Amino acid sequence: MPKQTFHNLPTEKREKIVNAAIEEFAENGLENASTNRIVANSGIAKGSFYQYFADKLDVFNHLMDVVTNEKTEFFKDKRPPNRNMDTFEYFRWMIKVGMEFNSAYPRMAQAASRVLFVEGLYYGKKFVEYHERAKEALAIMIKQAMKNREVDPSVDVELAVMIMETWSNAITTYIVTEGMKQKDIMKWVRSAKTQEKIDKMLYVMEYGLRKTESKFEKHF
């Protein structure tokens, strides 16, 4: 948690620091992020940094709070296009709004995905909470889908969660790395071609999970 001094700062200054941190983490990940560069790019003194934050990880955790809030705000006024969606349609819709968010705040998304999904794999216990929370939400979804008979009940939940998570991360990583090469990332994400690609990836996942004739059983 950032210290009180940080929260007392005028909004503009706070944002400048947060933006510098986002830029640094997006460009270098957590391990290789440099507090020296963060302070240089936010125009504050080294000493001040340590009056606001305990260390690098503290800034990063604050950043994740900012992302969470922005994302919640972003989702707030988005509504699924129709009420009678099945779980997969809903998942697809969620992924797409998520990608809209990522293209609206590409560096934020890049910093988060890079550190949580990529570096995080090898960090041990540092980010398990984020991970667990995401898995929890997916597990609820998949259980609902099973109740609705949209997913074969022979598919085990843990596995389905892993599959959905893998795809969600793969798509995010794709959008974030490919998107950064585009001159207008938002236009690129919204383009028919990119949307179709996302759709197709999700359909392949969906057909794999959906099949209702318990074909798995045959193989064991």
Partner DNA sequence: GTAAAATGTGACCATCAAGTCACATGACCA
Partner DNA sequence: TGGTCATGTGACTTGATGGTCACATTTTAC
Choices 41-49, 68-76, 150-158, 162-170; region in contact with DNA by CB under 7 A: 41-49
Residue with tokens 């997916």: 138
- Residue ranges binding its own copies (CB under 8 A): 29, 31-32, 114, 118-119, 121-122, 155-156, 159, 162-163, 166-167, 170, 173-174, 177, 196-197, 199-201, 203-209, 211, 215-216, 219-220
Least separation in angstroms between CB 119 and its own copies = 8
Q: In angstroms, rounded to a whole number, what is the distance separating the alpha carbons of residues 62 and 51?
A: 15
Q: Can you tell me the distance from the alpha carbon of 163 to that of 63, in angstroms, rounded to the nearest whole number?
A: 27
Contact pick of 1, 51, 69, 215 for DNA (by CB under 7 A): 51
Minimum CB separation of residue 9 from DNA in Å reads 6
Q: Which of 15, 36, 136, 215 binds DNA (CB under 7 A)?
A: 36
Question: Is residue 44 part of the contact set for DNA (CB under 7 A)?
Answer: yes
- Length of the chain equals 220
Q: What is the rounded CA–CA span in Å between residue 77 and residue 136? A: 24
Q: What is the dihedral of CA 16, 76, 115, 179, to 10 degrees?
A: -90
Question: Exactly one of 16, 50, 86, 105 binds DNA (CB under 7 A); which one?
Answer: 50
Q: How far apart are the first and last CA of the chain?
A: 49
Tokens of residue 207, six digits: 């057909």
Of 58, 159, 140, 33, which is closest to residue 91 (Cα–Cα)?
140
Nearest distance in Å: CB 105, DNA: 24
Single out the segment in contact with DNA by CB under 7 A; choices: 43-51, 64-72, 83-91, 119-127: 43-51
Residues of this chain, 183-212, that bind DNA according to CB under 7 A:
none
Paired tokens of 194: 């990119």
- Alpha-carbon Rg for the chain in angstroms: 20
Distance CA 174, CA 176 (A): 5
* 102 neighbors 189 (Cβ within 8 angstroms): yes
Q: How far is the CB of 41 from its own copies (least distance, A)?
A: 19
Q: Decide: is 126 part of the binding site for DNA (CB under 7 A).
A: no
- Choose the one of DNA, its own copies, none that binds residue 8, judging by a C-beta under 5 to 8 angstroms depending on kind: DNA
Which positions touch DNA (CB under 7 A)?
Answer: 4-5, 8-9, 13, 33-37, 44-48, 50-51, 55-56
